Amino acid sequence: MTKKDFDAIVVGSGPNGLAAAIRLQQAGLSVLLVEGKNTIGGGMRSQELTLPGFVHDVCSAIHPMAAGSPFLSQLPLKDYGLEFIYPDTAAAHPFDNGTAAVLKKSIEKTAGLLGDDQETYLSLLKPVVREWPNLAADILGPLPIPKHPLTMAAFGMKAMLPSTLLAKRFRTTEARGLWAGMAAHNIQPLTNMATSAIGLVLMAVGHLRGWPIPKGGSQQMANALAAYFQALGGKIETDYYVKSLEQLPSSHAVLLDVTPRQLLEIAGYRFSAIYKWQLERYRYGMGVFKIDWALDAPIPFSAPEARQAGTLHLGNTLEEIVTTEAQSAKGQHPEKPFVLLAQPSLFDATRAPAGKHTAWAYCHVPNGSQQDRTAAIEQQVERFAPGFRERILARHVMNTAQMEAYNPNYIGGDINGGIIDLAQLYTRPALRLSPYRTSAKGIYVCSSSTPPGGGVHGMCGYHAAQRALKDIFNISGEAFRSVPKVALAS
């Protein structure tokens, strides 16, 4: 092999870029990771967005998929300063009557609070929880030849259903609402095929591992991944915004943690006409409007269970959530949007000055929406927590354009790197034998625009690295069970 400056270069330091760089470095290659911003992390950055001393997660805040990731979960990140905090109540779903359904670490406790749906919940989730070690690699990867075909087939029979259809198994308002909040993480209409998959996965991982909060902010997770990569011998350069491959040093492989739009801008001149045609037709999904709050006290939710949860799903009944998510997908702005909210300072005192708190929330909006949703979101929080507004000290808002300006991968505010509906579930970003290969030799895509899609799990980056290792360097084998030990950085 001709001598190059590096064996591989990874562009973008989000969870997938970091995972790809780590996997390549683990294999003994010389790897350069470049980041356009002055701080690594992508969707894992934390900043004082509102007032001094209030640490906010700019994007991702709660990390169930990191805990459930076959790759990230086995990295020695504790050795590099990462500490996860696990709320006993991972998520709560309050209702207008002042009660709430909850997702607890214990599957029995969760089911026991669902009344007549206790046995239905156990029969639905226990098989997924039990088989997760066998399911994880198949679910969080490209369209596979399953290693456990019968187990995957049993999961697929449930996962491929529209979440509205699977919800018919439940009879109680509590179980149906809890399910709808989980399924709404799809960021698409709940009537779409395969929207049951994410709900099943989030619930199962919650029972197995919990929904962890990084102590000190999500930036700590990015820092730990970067420190581990550097301890293996990897190199990182920030303030290195790549507009063309010609800006990069020479290498045998380039892996890009970008979506199809940026991929075309950076490397389109290297691609075949048919591959460019497919990338140009890639579809992005709904965006988000996000608010961070500095608070004088905890959010006063009416339901006691909601005051103890790391994550809140605010949307009341299944029927209401189904309606408002469908409206957002059609380009509308519902009066009472479904809101996802995190309150990490309840569990992590490093997030705010003594006695003060932080919270974070977003709702789904049409892609590219410029409408200010501050009032709508705060009204939804106030609906389930009367007196909430009185506790706001400061707020920071981001519409879809500001989300994209912060992270160019969030096209039109789409934090999933493209809609993950049935048509793009396994053909992201293009229909190919390997979704991570481009049509140009040595150029790979490692972003959430490849399977398995959005979420802080690093598996898009891991699989892209595996593909490059095999194609370019003739290196095979998984890294899930054999990670090299490295000395801690001094």
Q: What are the tens digits of pLDDT across the range 109-129?
A: 999 999 999 999 999 999 999
pLDDT at 485 over 60: no
Residue 489 has pLDDT above 90, yes or no: no
Cα dihedral 299, 303, 308, 310 sign? negative
Q: Tell which wins on pLDDT, 29 or 1.
A: 29
257-275 residue pLDDT tens: 999 999 999 999 999 999 9
Q: How far apart are CA 266 and CA 264, in angstroms?
A: 6
Mean pLDDT computed over every residue of the chain: 95
Lowest mean pLDDT, pick from 28-37, 134-143, 214-223, 447-456? 134-143
Domains and CATH numbers, the chain: 6-46+54-82+215-282+415-473 (3.50.50.60), 88-209+285-406 (3.90.660)
In the chain, % of residues over pLDDT 70: 98
Whether residue 483 has pLDDT greater than 50: no
Query: What tokens does 167 get?
Result: 């919800």
pLDDT for 215 equals 98
pTM, rounded to two decimals? 0.95
Written as six digits, the tokens of 458 are 């690093």
The whole-number average pLDDT for the span 221-248 is 98
The larger pLDDT score, comparing residue 178 to residue 148, is at 178
Structure token digits, residue 400: 């879809």
The answer to whether 357 touches 346, Cβ cutoff 8 Å, is yes
* pLDDT for res 482: 42
State pLDDT tens for residues 327-355: 999 999 999 999 999 999 999 999 999 99
Residue 426 confidence class, pLDDT cut points 50, 70, 90: confident
The amino acid present at 460, given as its one-letter code, is C
Query: Residue 1 pLDDT > 90, yes or no?
Result: no
Lowest mean pLDDT among 20-24, 130-134, 283-287: 130-134
The pLDDT tens digits of the residues spanning 361-398 come to 999 999 999 999 999 999 999 999 999 999 999 999 99
Mean pLDDT over 232-257 rounds to 98
Q: Which of 163-167, 331-335, 457-461, 474-478 has the lowest mean pLDDT?
A: 474-478
58 CB neighbour count, 10 Å cutoff? 25
Q: What is the reported pLDDT for 477?
A: 83
| Average pLDDT over every residue of 180-209 | 97
- Token readout for 214 is 């990084």
For residue 296, how many other CB atoms are within 10 A of its CB?
12
Q: Quick: pLDDT tens for 167-190.
A: 999 999 999 999 999 999 999 999
Cβ–Cβ < 8 Å for 329, 440: no
pLDDT reading at 484 higher than 50: no
Q: Is pLDDT of 490 > 60?
A: no
Res. 103: pLDDT tops 60 = yes
- Taken in order 300, 302, 308, 311, is the CA torsion positive or negative? negative
Q: What is the pLDDT of residue 480?
A: 62
Q: Is the preceding omega at residue 260 within 30 degrees of 0, hence cis?
A: no
**Above 80 in pLDDT, residue 486?**
no
Query: What is the structure's pLDDT at 479?
Result: 72
Greater pLDDT, 483 or 458: 458
**Which residue, among 276, 274, 240, 194, has the nearest Cα to 453 in the 3D structure?**
194
Residue 88: pLDDT over 70 = yes
